[in-house]
Structure 1
Protein backbone atom coordinates (compact mmCIF):
# COMPACT_ATOMS: atom_id res chain seq x y z
CA UNK A 1 0.00 0.00 0.00
CA UNK A 2 2.83 2.36 0.86
CA UNK A 3 4.53 1.69 -2.50
CA UNK A 4 1.26 2.35 -4.34
CA UNK A 5 0.96 5.72 -2.56
CA UNK A 6 4.57 6.58 -3.47
CA UNK A 7 3.99 5.64 -7.11
CA UNK A 8 0.87 7.82 -7.28
CA UNK A 9 2.73 10.68 -5.63
CA UNK A 10 5.56 10.44 -8.16
CA UNK A 11 3.11 10.33 -11.06
CA UNK A 12 1.26 13.39 -9.77
CA UNK A 13 4.54 15.26 -9.42
CA UNK A 14 5.55 14.47 -12.97
CA UNK A 15 2.29 15.82 -14.40
CA UNK A 16 2.73 19.22 -12.78
CA UNK A 17 6.01 19.61 -14.68
CA UNK A 18 3.96 20.03 -17.87
CA UNK A 19 1.77 22.83 -16.54
CA UNK A 20 2.39 26.38 -17.70
CA UNK A 21 1.19 29.59 -16.17
CA UNK A 22 -0.82 31.97 -18.31
CA UNK A 23 2.13 34.36 -18.31
CA UNK A 24 4.37 31.62 -19.72
CA UNK A 25 1.81 30.77 -22.41
CA UNK A 26 1.51 34.47 -23.28
CA UNK A 27 5.28 34.73 -23.55
CA UNK A 28 5.53 31.59 -25.70
CA UNK A 29 2.81 32.80 -28.07
CA UNK A 30 4.50 36.19 -28.35
CA UNK A 31 7.80 34.51 -29.21
CA UNK A 32 6.13 32.33 -31.86
CA UNK A 33 4.60 35.43 -33.44
CA UNK A 34 7.94 37.24 -33.29
CA UNK A 35 9.62 34.26 -35.00
CA UNK A 36 7.14 34.05 -37.88
CA UNK A 37 7.19 37.84 -38.31
CA UNK A 38 10.97 37.74 -38.54
CA UNK A 39 10.75 34.91 -41.09
CA UNK A 40 8.28 36.88 -43.19
CA UNK A 41 10.48 39.99 -43.07
CA UNK A 42 13.48 37.91 -44.15
CA UNK A 43 11.55 36.56 -47.15
CA UNK A 44 10.25 40.07 -47.92
CA UNK A 45 13.78 41.49 -47.95
CA UNK A 46 15.02 38.62 -50.11
CA UNK A 47 12.28 39.34 -52.65
CA UNK A 48 13.17 43.05 -52.68
CA UNK A 49 16.79 42.13 -53.33
CA UNK A 50 16.09 39.48 -55.99
CA UNK A 51 13.66 41.68 -57.91
CA UNK A 52 15.46 45.01 -57.40
CA UNK A 53 15.84 45.54 -61.15
CA UNK A 54 12.07 45.30 -61.67
CA UNK A 55 11.09 48.73 -60.30
CA UNK A 56 7.41 48.44 -61.18
CA UNK A 57 7.11 45.15 -59.34
CA UNK A 58 9.04 46.49 -56.32
CA UNK A 59 6.78 49.55 -56.02
CA UNK A 60 3.64 47.41 -56.31
CA UNK A 61 4.99 44.78 -53.92
CA UNK A 62 5.82 47.41 -51.29
CA UNK A 63 2.33 48.87 -51.67
CA UNK A 64 0.81 45.41 -51.26
CA UNK A 65 2.83 44.80 -48.11
CA UNK A 66 1.81 48.15 -46.60
CA UNK A 67 -1.83 47.40 -47.37
CA UNK A 68 -1.48 43.90 -45.92
CA UNK A 69 -0.21 45.39 -42.63
CA UNK A 70 -3.30 47.65 -42.57
CA UNK A 71 -5.54 44.66 -43.30
CA UNK A 72 -3.82 42.57 -40.59
CA UNK A 73 -4.34 45.33 -38.04
CA UNK A 74 -7.97 45.82 -39.09
CA UNK A 75 -8.65 42.09 -38.85
CA UNK A 76 -7.16 42.06 -35.37
CA UNK A 77 -9.47 44.91 -34.34
CA UNK A 78 -12.44 43.08 -35.82
CA UNK A 79 -11.51 39.88 -33.99
CA UNK A 80 -10.99 41.66 -30.66
CA UNK A 81 -13.01 44.89 -30.80
CA UNK A 82 -13.19 45.45 -27.04
CA UNK A 83 -10.42 46.64 -24.75
CA UNK A 84 -7.75 44.09 -23.88
CA UNK A 85 -9.00 43.98 -20.28
CA UNK A 86 -12.36 42.61 -21.38
CA UNK A 87 -10.73 39.43 -22.72
CA UNK A 88 -8.83 38.64 -19.55
CA UNK A 89 -5.36 37.28 -19.00
CA UNK A 90 -5.49 35.08 -22.12
CA UNK A 91 -5.71 38.08 -24.44
CA UNK A 92 -1.96 38.45 -25.07
CA UNK A 93 -1.78 34.78 -26.06
CA UNK A 94 -4.89 34.95 -28.25
CA UNK A 95 -3.69 38.13 -29.93
CA UNK A 96 -0.23 36.71 -30.63
CA UNK A 97 -1.71 33.45 -31.95
CA UNK A 98 -4.02 35.35 -34.30
CA UNK A 99 -1.22 37.60 -35.53
CA UNK A 100 0.97 34.54 -36.10
CA UNK A 101 -1.82 32.88 -38.09
CA UNK A 102 -2.31 35.96 -40.30
CA UNK A 103 1.44 36.37 -40.75
CA UNK A 104 1.86 32.72 -41.73
CA UNK A 105 -0.84 33.20 -44.37
CA UNK A 106 0.98 36.24 -45.74
CA UNK A 107 4.29 34.41 -45.65
CA UNK A 108 2.79 31.61 -47.73
CA UNK A 109 1.42 34.18 -50.17
CA UNK A 110 4.73 35.97 -50.76
CA UNK A 111 6.92 32.86 -50.88
CA UNK A 112 5.80 32.31 -54.46
CA UNK A 113 8.28 34.97 -55.57
CA UNK A 114 11.23 32.95 -54.22
CA UNK A 115 10.00 29.42 -54.94
CA UNK A 116 10.07 27.79 -58.33
CA UNK A 117 6.78 27.63 -60.15
CA UNK A 118 5.59 24.59 -62.06
CA UNK A 119 6.90 24.47 -65.60
CA UNK A 120 4.29 25.52 -68.12
CA UNK A 121 2.26 27.58 -65.63
CA UNK A 122 1.12 30.53 -67.71
CA UNK A 123 -0.50 32.53 -64.91
CA UNK A 124 2.61 33.38 -62.90
CA UNK A 125 2.46 37.13 -63.53
CA UNK A 126 5.52 38.80 -62.04
CA UNK A 127 7.00 35.61 -60.57
CA UNK A 128 10.56 35.20 -61.87
CA UNK A 129 10.37 38.50 -63.80
CA UNK A 130 13.38 40.07 -62.15
CA UNK A 131 14.19 42.82 -64.68
Structure 2
Protein backbone atom coordinates (compact mmCIF):
# COMPACT_ATOMS: atom_id res chain seq x y z
CA UNK A 1 0.00 0.00 0.00
CA UNK A 2 2.86 2.35 0.83
CA UNK A 3 4.36 1.84 -2.67
CA UNK A 4 1.00 2.44 -4.24
CA UNK A 5 0.65 5.80 -2.47
CA UNK A 6 4.19 6.82 -3.44
CA UNK A 7 3.51 5.91 -7.08
CA UNK A 8 0.23 7.78 -7.00
CA UNK A 9 1.91 10.87 -5.56
CA UNK A 10 4.63 10.71 -8.22
CA UNK A 11 2.05 10.43 -10.99
CA UNK A 12 0.07 13.38 -9.62
CA UNK A 13 3.25 15.46 -9.23
CA UNK A 14 4.41 14.61 -12.75
CA UNK A 15 1.04 15.43 -14.26
CA UNK A 16 1.11 18.85 -12.62
CA UNK A 17 4.14 19.66 -14.78
CA UNK A 18 2.15 18.93 -17.93
CA UNK A 19 -1.15 20.48 -16.93
CA UNK A 20 -1.82 23.80 -18.60
CA UNK A 21 -4.73 26.11 -18.70
CA UNK A 22 -6.14 27.26 -22.01
CA UNK A 23 -4.75 30.70 -21.26
CA UNK A 24 -1.24 29.30 -20.75
CA UNK A 25 -1.46 27.34 -24.00
CA UNK A 26 -2.65 30.46 -25.86
CA UNK A 27 0.18 32.51 -24.35
CA UNK A 28 2.84 29.96 -25.28
CA UNK A 29 1.54 29.61 -28.83
CA UNK A 30 1.48 33.40 -29.24
CA UNK A 31 5.00 33.67 -27.82
CA UNK A 32 6.22 31.08 -30.33
CA UNK A 33 4.62 33.05 -33.15
CA UNK A 34 6.11 36.34 -31.94
CA UNK A 35 9.54 34.68 -31.73
CA UNK A 36 9.23 33.31 -35.28
CA UNK A 37 8.11 36.74 -36.52
CA UNK A 38 11.06 38.36 -34.74
CA UNK A 39 13.48 35.93 -36.41
CA UNK A 40 11.89 36.57 -39.80
CA UNK A 41 12.34 40.30 -39.30
CA UNK A 42 15.98 39.77 -38.32
CA UNK A 43 16.60 37.80 -41.52
CA UNK A 44 14.77 40.43 -43.56
CA UNK A 45 16.82 43.25 -42.00
CA UNK A 46 20.08 41.37 -42.57
CA UNK A 47 19.22 40.87 -46.24
CA UNK A 48 18.37 44.56 -46.55
CA UNK A 49 21.73 45.45 -45.04
CA UNK A 50 23.76 42.95 -47.10
CA UNK A 51 22.07 43.85 -50.39
CA UNK A 52 21.68 47.60 -49.77
CA UNK A 53 23.73 48.45 -52.87
CA UNK A 54 21.36 46.45 -55.09
CA UNK A 55 18.48 48.94 -55.15
CA UNK A 56 16.35 46.99 -57.64
CA UNK A 57 16.61 43.83 -55.54
CA UNK A 58 15.65 45.69 -52.35
CA UNK A 59 12.68 47.29 -54.09
CA UNK A 60 11.49 43.89 -55.36
CA UNK A 61 12.08 42.23 -51.99
CA UNK A 62 9.89 44.82 -50.28
CA UNK A 63 7.11 44.19 -52.80
CA UNK A 64 7.49 40.44 -52.35
CA UNK A 65 7.35 40.75 -48.57
CA UNK A 66 4.19 42.88 -48.67
CA UNK A 67 2.59 40.31 -50.97
CA UNK A 68 3.75 37.46 -48.73
CA UNK A 69 1.99 39.10 -45.77
CA UNK A 70 -1.20 39.24 -47.83
CA UNK A 71 -0.66 35.59 -48.81
CA UNK A 72 -0.05 34.59 -45.18
CA UNK A 73 -3.24 36.29 -44.06
CA UNK A 74 -5.20 34.67 -46.92
CA UNK A 75 -3.77 31.27 -45.95
CA UNK A 76 -5.00 31.74 -42.39
CA UNK A 77 -8.44 32.74 -43.69
CA UNK A 78 -8.47 29.68 -45.92
CA UNK A 79 -7.46 27.41 -43.04
CA UNK A 80 -10.04 28.93 -40.68
CA UNK A 81 -12.85 30.34 -42.87
CA UNK A 82 -15.55 30.21 -40.20
CA UNK A 83 -15.91 32.54 -37.20
CA UNK A 84 -13.35 31.81 -34.47
CA UNK A 85 -15.98 30.53 -32.04
CA UNK A 86 -16.86 27.68 -34.42
CA UNK A 87 -13.39 26.14 -33.88
CA UNK A 88 -13.65 25.89 -30.14
CA UNK A 89 -11.34 26.90 -27.35
CA UNK A 90 -8.22 25.65 -29.14
CA UNK A 91 -8.65 28.15 -31.99
CA UNK A 92 -6.15 30.71 -30.64
CA UNK A 93 -3.52 28.00 -30.28
CA UNK A 94 -4.24 26.52 -33.70
CA UNK A 95 -4.14 29.92 -35.39
CA UNK A 96 -0.90 30.92 -33.66
CA UNK A 97 0.68 27.56 -34.53
CA UNK A 98 -0.30 27.99 -38.18
CA UNK A 99 1.08 31.53 -38.26
CA UNK A 100 4.30 30.21 -36.71
CA UNK A 101 4.55 27.51 -39.38
CA UNK A 102 3.98 29.95 -42.26
CA UNK A 103 6.40 32.49 -40.80
CA UNK A 104 9.11 29.88 -40.28
CA UNK A 105 8.70 28.70 -43.87
CA UNK A 106 9.07 32.26 -45.12
CA UNK A 107 12.15 32.83 -43.00
CA UNK A 108 13.76 29.69 -44.38
CA UNK A 109 12.98 30.71 -47.95
CA UNK A 110 14.63 34.11 -47.39
CA UNK A 111 17.74 32.60 -45.80
CA UNK A 112 19.13 31.63 -49.22
CA UNK A 113 20.02 35.30 -49.75
CA UNK A 114 22.16 35.04 -46.62
CA UNK A 115 23.51 31.49 -46.84
CA UNK A 116 23.64 31.16 -50.61
CA UNK A 117 22.67 28.21 -52.76
CA UNK A 118 24.26 24.77 -52.90
CA UNK A 119 27.51 24.53 -54.89
CA UNK A 120 26.92 23.95 -58.59
CA UNK A 121 23.51 25.63 -58.62
CA UNK A 122 23.24 27.45 -61.93
CA UNK A 123 19.96 29.31 -61.44
CA UNK A 124 21.15 31.78 -58.83
CA UNK A 125 19.16 34.83 -59.92
CA UNK A 126 19.70 37.59 -57.38
CA UNK A 127 21.22 35.32 -54.71
CA UNK A 128 24.63 36.75 -53.98
CA UNK A 129 24.11 39.80 -56.26
CA UNK A 130 24.83 42.33 -53.55
CA UNK A 131 25.99 45.07 -55.95
Bucket of the pairwise TM-score, normalised by the shorter protein: over 0.9
Give SS of 2:123's match.
coil
Q: Give the equivalent residue in structure 2 for 1:12.
A: 11
TM-superposed CA distance for 1:4, in Å, is: 2.7
Give 5+ residue unaligned stretches, structure 1: none
Give the distance between the partners of 1:123 and 1:22, measured in 2 at CA.
Answer: 47
CA RMSD of aligned residues (A): 1.2
User: 2:23 aligns to what?
Assistant: 23
1:114 partner SS: helix
**Whole-angstrom CA distance in 1 between matches of 2:37 and 2:107:** 9
Taking the aligned partners of 2:119 and 2:87, their CA distance within structure 1 comes to: 49
User: What TM-score comes out, normalization by structure 2 length?
Assistant: 0.93
Deviations 1:55-83 (A, max 9, x none): 11111111110000000000100111111
**1:117 aligned residue:** 117
Give the aligned partner of residue 64 of structure 2: 64
Matched ranges for 1:63-102 at <5 A: 63-102=63-102
Query: How far apart, in 1, do the equivalents of 2:18 and 2:113 lie?
Result: 41
Counterpart of 1:32 in structure 2 is 32
Shift of 1:88: 1.7
Unaligned runs of 5+ in 2: none
State the shift of 1:9 in Å. 3.0
What is the TM-score when the length of structure 1 is the normalising length?
0.93
- 1:54 matched to 2:54? The reply is yes
Counterpart Cα distance in 2 of 1:49 and 1:18 = 43
Give 1:13 deviation, angstroms. 2.0
